[in-house]
Structure 1
């Protein structure tokens, strides 16, 4: 199955043992060059959004055509002194390639609705950029899950009704709470990255994990608006082409092109290079 897709949630780590382990687990190598060489070669990957990690001064450098980034605030020492980096953050948002900011509650022990990030949310509204929020399960045992519950996004959505908010990973495994937040807040959207991690066969997985699949479909149908869901892989957590097969099984055939490409372009207000 050769489906064209726009990867709205991927990571290009630099010198990360964690990313190297993830990539090795699926038979890939953890680098932006490898990602482009592997997944763009047959024309199915049409672009993507890099979720930033590490030093904010180094993010967004040498982004290829049709790729964009969310400035990632994932370092505790940076987040602890966020006001000191406000000017730098604003400079990123002035760039066309920067389509938003990604925060990492759970990995960072700060509730996203605590008021701590209010200056950042106001800045995003001013520049008409997107807030992406990690929700749900954590890859690290050192993080604290309570901070990453999707219910916290309800407060932000209500307090900032003109702010577009992306709930990364559909709040998995808190799917019912995630769906409740989405149902009542039309400015909240979902990327479907990170629902599986590691090597897998899409068709075999659909059979063996049919209860999980039905649960996902139930809450997707509950939302009743497939324009609010978009494809993302969380690479290097999974092989991108195989993940398209899995996500495509969750939606009607006539919605697949929107899920895999168009919705992300609309939600992140991407006009193209």
Structure 2
């Protein structure tokens, strides 16, 4: 195991007075000062009943999505919706669906996937062969319905037939949303999710069933899905992966939902999870926080792919 993560005070950027800890039934949640008391109670309720800690998400985003759900439920204000939530157990699922909007596509940001296929994966494969290492480890963090890890699995399947590839490739894909993980396991997609898939790959790896396209079993079986919270204090990496040492981690369009305090903690986690020569792929609107600028080196000026220093 790698060394333990920095504690809360070490990774917290900015003035500490912006945050405060609340204790709810034996558990501590760190939140921004000034958050709506009813929203605070809603977050505690979600943590208690589903084990999901949304306290690190941007308050404005949380308030916006809870407010949207509040209007649908016909509640006049946040306090009224909090009461409604507490008295209607089935509303939890509706609220979670509203907060964890899972929007993704196969080969989203196609340039990023071309760079991974043409540059990153071959470089990793050569490194493995030169070091007589037989396995390649890839983690998709925040995988939603599986489009991202399955895109990576297709790329590897296309490349591994070439000479000089590691014998074993291990894909781990995680998300906080059980419904999204259930959809990922089924691997059936609407045409809108496949708009970036080349026609040759569509014919090779998908079969049409009415209005949906089903991914072939050979690709589905390459990926291990599991629920994992990037704010999990008990596990630095997904338990299903046993250990970190990932050669490639994709965490795209996930960090934008977290405030800077939690972003720093997540970057510490991702940094520790990478192998010494590993690569981190972020969304186009994301970058390492200032406190991690010396830990990652941007590989391409036109893509958010970083090498671990």
TM-score by length of 1: 0.30
Query: Which is bigger in relative contact order (C-alpha 8 A, separation at least 6)?
Result: 1
- Which one has a bigger Cα radius of gyration? 2
TM-score by length of 2: 0.28
Structure having the higher strand fraction is: 2
